[in-house]
Amino acid sequence: MTHLSLLKPTGHLTLGNHLGALRPMREQAVDDVCFYGVADLHALTVAHDPARLRILVREMTTLLLAVGLEPATLFVQSHVPAHSELAYLLECTAHTGELNRMIQFKEKGRSNPATRASLYTYPVLMAADILLYRAARVPVGDDQRQHVELTRDLALRFNREYGEVFTVPEIVTPAAGARVMDLQYPTTKMGKSHENGAGIVYLLDPPDVVRRKVARAVTDSDTGPDAVRRDRATKPGVTNLVDILEACGGSAEGITSYGALKAAVTDAVVDELAPVQRRYAELAADPGRVDSVFAAGAARCREVTAPVLEAARIAIGLG
């Protein structure tokens, strides 16, 4: 089975990305054919700084290698021009009516006349990302479900109007991975684009920074022997710390104070991140190695996607 996953380089990767996405991706890459990409084109849909984007892409490519995703085909989206080429053909298949209905555009851009046109069309680029690799099943969280439904609609319409070119992907619910919450706002997800980084542990945070962030994590005023327990509704901060501890291989068994819990979480997170940071440092000193892995990945992607793009071009009347 083919898996495709793209990560948007709009911020530094977090512990949430690691436990919720990168670790499961690493496991998947052992058994399945996986294409993992850095979605640099998608990072251009909102105001951006070219120099920062370059830095974030470099950091992300290095980190994907550092966490051990190399059994997969690793690539940078813009190095595979088929993504933007197919996106245009699909824009000629999509209707403005359906793009107007995209919730993310409605919420994030429609009311602002300076919104980039690419924010309006990015669900079509996402459809191209998926359809190029003939992914049969696409695991998506709720926030992306509408976009994958659009992908299906576009594939079905294209196939009906111009001939059977695309595999219509089935939408599947992702296996429940760890969901890491912000240490300061434990009812919201730890996200790389969050404005205030005090509750976010980044993959490259050194141990003393991890310690400080965890030490300041929001808990509650419970005391007593059973204060350390999971209860997402009434104890979101403590629940999150216990979840992180277990996801990093530790256990809250026998821990009764928040101080001890935080110390255990710090140790477990530092241990989880140490090998990634060690490998990152080695790779950062050898950027040619990262470049060659990603060059080979892009070459493989160009090879795999060429027949799909060519079939679409011919079907629509360009060849």
Nearest CB to ligand AMP, comparing residues 131 and 140: 140
Which are the catalytic amino acids? 108, 189, 192
Nearest CB to ligand AMP, comparing residues 3 and 315: 3
Which string of x and - marks every residue 149-188 that binds ligand AMP (by CB under 6 A)? Answer: -----------------------------xxx--------
Site for ligand AMP contains 192 (CB under 6 A)? yes
Site for ligand AMP contains 141 (CB under 6 A)? yes
Q: Binding residue for ligand AMP (CB under 6 A) from 3, 9, 12, 20?
A: 20
Of the candidates 219, 221, 197, 201, which has an alpha carbon nearest to the alpha carbon of residue 211? 201
Strands annotated E in the chain: 2-7, 33-38, 73-76, 137-139, 170-172
Per the DSSP assignment, residues forming a β-bridge with 231 are 235
Alpha carbon distance 185, 25 (integer Å):
26
In our burial notation (b when 16+ CB lie closer than 10 A, e otherwise), range 102-141 reads bebbeeebeeeeeeeeebbbbbbbbbbbbbbbebeebbbe
- Closest separation between CB of residue 217 and ligand AMP, Å? 14
**CB distance 22 to 200 below 8 Å:** no
- Closest separation between CB of residue 273 and ligand AMP, Å? 15
- Closest separation between CB of residue 7 and ligand AMP, Å? 5
Alpha carbon distance 28, 23 (integer Å):
9
Site for ligand AMP contains 21 (CB under 6 A)? yes
Q: Strand pairing of 73-76 and 33-38?
A: parallel
Q: Which stretch binds ligand AMP (CB under 6 A): 11-19, 42-50, 211-219, 241-249?
A: 11-19
Positions that interact with ligand AMP (CB under 6 A) = 7-8, 16-17, 19-21, 141, 178-180, 189-192
